[in-house]
Amino acid sequence: MFISFEGLDGSGKTTQAALLAEAARAAGWEVVSVREPGGTAAGERVRTLLLDPEARIAPWAEALLYAAARAQLVAEVIRPALDRGATVIADRYVDSSLAYQGVARGLGVAEVLEVNLAATGRLLPDRTILLELPAGRAAERRDAVADRIESEAEHFHASVAGGFADVARRFPDRVVVVDGSGPPADVAARVQAAVGL
Ligand code: TMP
């Protein structure tokens, strides 16, 4: 099974991806955890470039760099893990590109999806957990030192939130919206229910 976590920076995805991996391992599942962008030697180098506050990257270059890191991660890690029956838990995947590059950068959801389907051999998750917080809460939780994307203006993040809502409407069979507010253990219980653990 392939599970991805999505949401704004500061939505608690990384914590929840780790808690789900722990619970799934305790239940005897073989779990492979990955994060995007990155997760491979080549992908981590692309990540450094993408998140460098000094880097000047045009919108389509940005979308293609995220897709390149993703293509490498699928080929090197995700596909082999799924082929041997492991569960893959991803901290971000294609839907981040749809919300950040497709909607917030204005490249178009259909256009960015097309590129990503080509890059991944059309691999989409079985379940995507979209963690939602009331407007403004994610911004309060974001790191003090912002990377190139986090340092975008508040209207950019509002547009990303709208992008994720659009993604949830487009893919209702795959995407489950989970309330990310409250103690992490309570959120984790909602996430486990959503993946049938
Ligand atoms: P992270 O903070 O979750 O590691 O993600 C790094 C940043 O990259 C985050 O601000 C969201 C952004 N991002 C995109 O813009 N498009 C993508 O496809 C992915 C995976 C991340």
CB count within 10 Å of CB 8 equals: 28
CB count within 10 Å of CB 37 equals: 25
Ligand 1: centre distance to CA 190 (Å): 24
Q: What are phi and psi of 109, to 5 degrees?
A: -65, -45
Whether residue 92 has its Cβ less than 6 Å from ligand 1: yes
Ligand 1: centre distance to CA 142 (Å): 13
Ligand 1: centre distance to CA 96 (Å): 7
pLDDT given for residue 116 in this prediction: 98
| pLDDT tens, residue by residue, 91-104 | 999 999 999 999 99
pLDDT band of 140, cuts 50, 70, 90 = confident
| pLDDT tens, residue by residue, 101-117 | 999 999 999 999 999 99
Domains of the chain: total: 1
Whether residue 97 has its Cβ less than 6 Å from ligand 1: yes
Average pLDDT of span 163-183 = 97
Closest listed residue to residue 160, CA positions, set 175, 138, 179, 178 = 138
The Cα 20–Cα 149 span in angstroms is 26
Q: What is the CATH number of the domain that holds 118?
A: 3.40.50.300
The Cα 38–Cα 32 span in angstroms is 14
Q: Which atom of ligand 1 is nearest to the CA of 94?
A: 18
Ligand 1: centre distance to CA 92 (Å): 7
Average pLDDT of span 160-184 = 97
Beta strand residue intervals within the chain, DSSP E = 2-6, 31-35, 87-91, 127-132, 175-179
State the residue range of the domain holding 72.
Answer: 2-195
